[in-house]
Amino acid sequence: MKAVVFDRFGPPEEVLHVRDVPEPSPARGEVKVRMLASPINPSDLLYIAGQYGLKPPAFPATPGFEGVGVVVENGGGIIGWLRKGQRVAVLNSRVGNWGEFTVASSKQVIPILAAIPDDQAASFFVNPATVIALTEGVLNVTDGAWLLQSAAGSSLGKMVISFAKHRGFRTINVVRRPEQIVVLKKLGADEVILEKDGIAEQVKRITGGAGVKFALDPVGGATGTQVVQSLGHGGTCVVYGLLSGEPVSVDPRWLITGSKTVRGFWLADWMKSLGLVGKLRLIRQIRGLMTSGILRTETGTAYPMERVHDAVREAAATGKAGKVLLRIAP
């Protein structure tokens, strides 16, 4: 079969190749999936560069943490038997989804309703689950409160805005390009501010000097530092990405005065903290919110696997139209 592989860590455009590799076979408790499409997420790019919290078990390795496909073989077990022939979202941290076939634990494939198209199903889990985890599970944002977020024009940031409308909290959204202001306002953003105009001052003005109790930062560097500076009394900033690649600097005085918190978040760890019932409830919640269009992924260009270099280049570029997809099967 054809798959995207890399033999060493490095810049995705340099180290990725499309090659013929043996088809994987499912062990007991696993299923084999014929892949249809897979998104290119920032975590995939970090993984290929060797900068992610997970490393491939061996080289050559195939990237792709999520995607959509059809279960074609059961390696053994009741769940796999039930899934055979179903279209599923595939969560894969071991074998990788950027190939014609993959294998995954039968517990890591989620049946997808017919009403959810492939481009949405491909991004069924990572961003939607993170939005729910960050705003409900970690911050527990209260009704009417302000939530400040940077990189608000990202796929995940846009979901936070529509989820906030649905849940009844308000958002202050930081972007780096003025074109994003209109786009985010249309989605229901309460306030959209430009990074370059000074985040902390603008947050002060919007909140009448109080600052925010809830903040999210996936950027780091000067942006993340200013997001932390925008916290009000008892405020918490959750750091969940490293888009700038730069560290956040925190003056201890900012945290001490007003007893503020800065904490990290990784979906993989948060999922471990949920029991089976919690996981099933989360999947049901995502299904409902996706079907009703609240947690929707804005999709950008879909590339065939052979054009993986164009795909990763666009995924890392400034100002892309939406989530870049690898279209693995027609």
Ligand X SMILES: NC(=O)c1ccc[n+]([C@@H]2O[C@H](COP(=O)([O-])OP(=O)(O)OC[C@H]3O[C@@H](n4cnc5c(N)ncnc54)[C@H](OP(=O)(O)O)[C@@H]3O)[C@@H](O)[C@H]2O)c1
Shortest gap between Cβ of 269 and ligand X (angstroms)? 8
| Binding segment toward ligand X, per CB under 6 A, in 6-14, 22-30, 98-106, 264-272 | 264-272
Q: What are phi and psi of 206, to 5 degrees?
A: -70, -35
The site map against ligand X for 180-219 (x = CB under 6 A) is --------------------------------------xx
Residues within window 56-85 making contact with ligand X, judged by CB under 6 A? none
Instruction: Give the span between the Cα atoms of 33 and 217, in whole angstroms.
Output: 35
Residues within window 96-125 making contact with ligand X, judged by CB under 6 A? none
Among 266, 285, 304, 307, interactor with ligand X by CB under 6 A: 266
Residues 6+ apart with CB under 8 A from 280: none
Instruction: Give the span between the Cα atoms of 201 and 150, in whole angstroms.
Output: 15
Tokens of 90: 């595939």
The site map against ligand X for 14-53 (x = CB under 6 A) is ---------------------------xxx----------
Secondary structure of 101-120 in the HEC alphabet?
A: EEEEEHHHEEECCCCCCHHH
Size of the site for ligand X (CB under 6 A): 26
173 makes contact with ligand X (CB under 6 A): no
Instruction: Give the span between the Cα atoms of 231 and 168, in whole angstroms.
Output: 20
Q: 74 in helix, strand or coil?
A: strand
Orientation of helix 199-206 relative to helix 221-229, angle to 10°? 30
Among 57, 85, 319, 330, interactor with ligand X by CB under 6 A: 319
265 makes contact with ligand X (CB under 6 A): yes
151 makes contact with ligand X (CB under 6 A): yes
Q: Which DSSP category does 233 fall into?
A: E
Which residue do the tokens 């088809």 mark? 23
Tokens of 208: 């009448």
Which residue do the tokens 């730069």 mark? 246
Shortest gap between Cβ of 75 and ligand X (angstroms)? 28
Shortest gap between Cβ of 155 and ligand X (angstroms)? 3
Residues within window 130-149 making contact with ligand X, judged by CB under 6 A? 130
Which C-beta is closer to ligand X: that of 6 or that of 47?
Answer: 47
Instruction: Give the span between the Cα atoms of 118 and 123, in whole angstroms.
Output: 9
Which C-beta is closer to ligand X: that of 24 or that of 39?
Answer: 39
Shortest gap between Cβ of 233 and ligand X (angstroms)? 26
Instruction: Give the span between the Cα atoms of 106 and 12, in whole angstroms.
Output: 29
CA-nearest of 234, 283, 282 to 260 is 234
Shortest gap between Cβ of 10 and ligand X (angstroms)? 19
The site map against ligand X for 268-307 (x = CB under 6 A) is ----------------------------------------
Which C-beta is closer to ligand X: that of 45 or that of 70?
Answer: 45
237 makes contact with ligand X (CB under 6 A): no
Let me know: does 140 contact 134? Beta carbons within 8 Å.
no
Taking the C-alpha atoms of 88, 92, 96 and 98 in order, what is their torsion angle to the nearest 10 degrees? 30
Shortest gap between Cβ of 106 and ligand X (angstroms)? 23
55 makes contact with ligand X (CB under 6 A): no
Catalog residues that contact ligand X under the rule CB under 6 A. 41-43, 126-127, 130, 151, 153-156, 176-177, 218-219, 223, 240-241, 243-244, 265-267, 318-319, 323
